[in-house]
Structure 1
Amino acid sequence: MSAIVTPFPLQAARTAQVGFEREELQRILDLYGRMVAAGLWRDYAMDFGRDAASFSGFRRAAERPEARIEKRPALRTKQGMWTIFGEGGQVLKRGHELAGVLFPLERRLLKVVEG
């Protein structure tokens, strides 16, 4: 008597999901915390799909996101896997390194201090 073993769940039925690595998420959440402290953001959302992972920062939960940080690994060898989109969907910055791509958002936190 022979038994047929079927793995569960089927490997073909599984779909890969793009996510953030710990260091990436730490950097993004650090920025989010500073934006909250500055009174610019009040809520966030994360979306993980087959092609991309995104983090959205909101002024208010009922509005469109003020900024969306997207990681799309398929573009790693082309223009870079990191993109920041503005409130209207326009590309604000694109690149290979997360730190450089986050600069336009971090620049908003800089304040002029008079001596």
Structure 2
Amino acid sequence: MTVQPPTPFPNAQRPVEQVSFDRRELGLILGLYGRMVAAGEWRDYGISCLREAAVFSIFRRTAEHPLYRIEKRPRLRNRQGMYSVVGMDGQILRRGHELKTVLRVLERKLIRPID
């Protein structure tokens, strides 16, 4: 029988697990964000790291509801894909397993017809 040494902080709670975007994912998202800011479409963003999801919210102005939310939900990895783009009204615009392909729905906003 082995005896475990006492923990230094016996009453301390374990840190709450949270989902976050990794460096590669943030690189893809911020690359698109930079192009949209340069085009004058977007002006602000916010990042939330929650227990079940990481959310990148995109705003036209600071004090309003987000235009789009890019969500990462690892629990959906084996089903419809853990990445999704959600519109202002809560409608899922695209969902998938690859972030790059999911973000294409927003890149189409950059393409405009020339008058």
- Measured against the shorter chain, the TM-score band is 0.7 to 0.9
Task: Return the TM-score normalized by structure 2.
Answer: 0.88
Unaligned 5+ segments in structure 1 are none
Following superposition, the deviation at residue 63 of structure 1 comes to 1.0
Q: Deviations over 1:19-44 (max 9, x none)?
A: 11111000000111111011110000
Counterparts of 1:9 and 1:30 in 2: how far apart (Å)?
Answer: 44
Following superposition, the deviation at residue 7 of structure 1 comes to 3.8
Counterparts of 2:10 and 2:107 in 1: how far apart (Å)?
Answer: 43
Please state whether the residue corresponding to 2:110 is helix, strand or coil: coil
Please state whether the residue corresponding to 1:41 is helix, strand or coil: coil
The number of equivalent residue pairs is 111
Pair 1:36 & 2:30 matched: no
Please state whether the residue corresponding to 2:100 is helix, strand or coil: helix
Unaligned 5+ segments in structure 2 are none
Q: Deviations over 1:83-108 (max 9, x none)?
A: 10001111100000001110110011
RMSD (CA atoms):
2.0
Q: Identity percentage over the alignment? A: 56
